[in-house]
Amino acid sequence: MMKYMKRTICICLLATILLLQGCLGAPGGVVDTGKVPPSTRAPSVTEYHLNTKYTYRTQVKEEMLVTGLHPDYLLLASKSYPLGKGYAPKMLVTLENRILTSWHQSEKIQLEARAATALYAMLAEMEADGVTDIKVTSAYRGYQYQYNLYNKYVELEQKGISQEAYQYFGKTYIQTNYIDRGIACLTESDAILVVGSYSAPAGASEHQTGLCVDFITAGMAGELTEAFASTEAFAWLSQNAYRFGFILRYPKGREDVTGYRYEPWHYRFVGREAATDIYFGNLTLEEYLGH
Ligand SMILES: [Zn+2]
């Protein structure tokens, strides 16, 4: 009897080891899941999405959110992947004044239609949670608009030595090349480098996709700064934006991947599924798309 039990235990143990090896994909195991670390993973319906329950306090029309992966909303626009002069979103809608900063209310601020629907739903949910200090300060920007904006920044940077210039070059560089030589303004080539760290040349801005927005609060005095990261709105967005299909596009410490400094105010619509994967996978859009 003892002998029989021992043999049964042995067989069970062996079976467990084999099963574990298979599951873990150990060398020689039969199961190869082909899984790669999240940072290099291509788009897929991941475990994050499948296990995520979405609940809403307000009446969110789920069918209006992009709930599956859709190539139109996974469009990559960056300095490495510029959209060029010809690209314009298929359907733009003009955003309502009530969600815009006061100084933009005479302008026509537009956003891609599905992204706009998701934005309204997100802002309504935020308000229901008691977060009301938030406005949109920028959305779709066409090629020509970005062309003018970029050139304006390059011009402005040459009028002195900005905080951004100090941040980009470091104190020593500015001291040696400018202060010690009695030069008070950046050269054009240095200005272009500084501007490149916070603004895209025409054709390379994500705002040309019509899928992203910049948020601002009343306390920020019209300046888009990292102060946004300390606001209630940011805290809310950090936890909830993915449920509406938005991602923080330029996260802190990921400058080497995105090519942009940390922008806590810049949110990009990718659709709910991709946003959920990106959020829980701690990815950037570049990594998610395998670039
Ligand atoms: Zn932006």
- Expressed in angstroms and rounded, the spacing between residue 111 Cα and the centre of ligand 1 is 13
Closest CA to 253 of 36, 35, 39: 39
Q: Note whether 25 and 162 are same-domain residues.
A: no
- For 195-220, what is each residue's pLDDT tens digit? 988 888 999 999 999 999 999 999 99
Closest CA to 214 of 288, 119, 142: 119
H or E segment to which residue 103 belongs = none
Q: Note whether 265 and 165 are same-domain residues.
A: no
Q: Note whether 79 and 6 are same-domain residues.
A: no
Q: Note whether 116 and 158 are same-domain residues.
A: no
Number of domains in the chain: 3
Q: Are 29 and 21 in contact (CB under 8 A)?
A: yes
**Residue 24 pLDDT exceeds 60:** no
Question: Do β-strands 135-138 and 212-216 pair in parallel, antiparallel, or remain unpaired?
Answer: antiparallel
pLDDT band, residue 159 (cuts 50/70/90): very high
- Expressed in angstroms and rounded, the spacing between residue 80 Cα and the centre of ligand 1 is 17
- Expressed in angstroms and rounded, the spacing between residue 31 Cα and the centre of ligand 1 is 44
**Residue 231 pLDDT exceeds 50:** yes
Q: Is residue 78 part of a domain?
A: yes
For 5-33, give the DSSP string.
Answer: HHHHHHHHHHHHHHHHHHHHT-TT-S---
Q: Is residue 181 part of a domain?
A: yes
Length of the chain: 291
Q: What is the pLDDT of residue 102?
A: 86
Q: Note whether 89 and 226 are same-domain residues.
A: yes
Q: Is residue 36 part of a domain?
A: no
Q: Note whether 168 and 125 are same-domain residues.
A: no
Is 287 a known active-site residue? Answer: no
d(CA 134, CA 127): 9
Q: Note whether 54 and 123 are same-domain residues.
A: yes
pLDDT band, residue 44 (cuts 50/70/90): low
DSSP state letter for 96: P
**Residue 90 pLDDT exceeds 50:** yes
Q: What is the pLDDT of residue 17?
A: 39
Tokens of 110: 């537009």
- Expressed in angstroms and rounded, the spacing between residue 199 Cα and the centre of ligand 1 is 9
pLDDT band, residue 48 (cuts 50/70/90): low
pLDDT mean over 264-286: 94
CATH code of the domain in which 227 resides: 3.30.1380.10
C-alpha 281, offset from chain centre: 13
Q: Note whether 179 and 162 are same-domain residues.
A: yes
Q: Is residue 272 part of a domain?
A: yes
Burial (0-12, 13-18, 19+ Cβ within 10 Å), 264: buried
- Expressed in angstroms and rounded, the spacing between residue 134 Cα and the centre of ligand 1 is 15
Given the residues 125, 157, 263, 287, select the one marked as catalytic. 263
Q: Note whether 111 and 220 are same-domain residues.
A: yes
C-alpha 257, offset from chain centre: 12
Q: Note whether 123 and 189 are same-domain residues.
A: no
Q: Note whether 190 and 272 are same-domain residues.
A: no
Q: What is the pLDDT of residue 155?
A: 97
- Expressed in angstroms and rounded, the spacing between residue 225 Cα and the centre of ligand 1 is 11
pLDDT band, residue 246 (cuts 50/70/90): very high
Cβ-Cβ contacts under 8 Å for 145 (sequence gap 6 or more): none
H or E segment to which residue 196 belongs = helix 188-196
Q: Is residue 239 part of a domain?
A: yes
- Expressed in angstroms and rounded, the spacing between residue 145 Cα and the centre of ligand 1 is 13
- Expressed in angstroms and rounded, the spacing between residue 15 Cα and the centre of ligand 1 is 55
Domain enclosing residue 218, as ranges: 41-141+205-288
Q: Note whether 108 and 5 are same-domain residues.
A: no
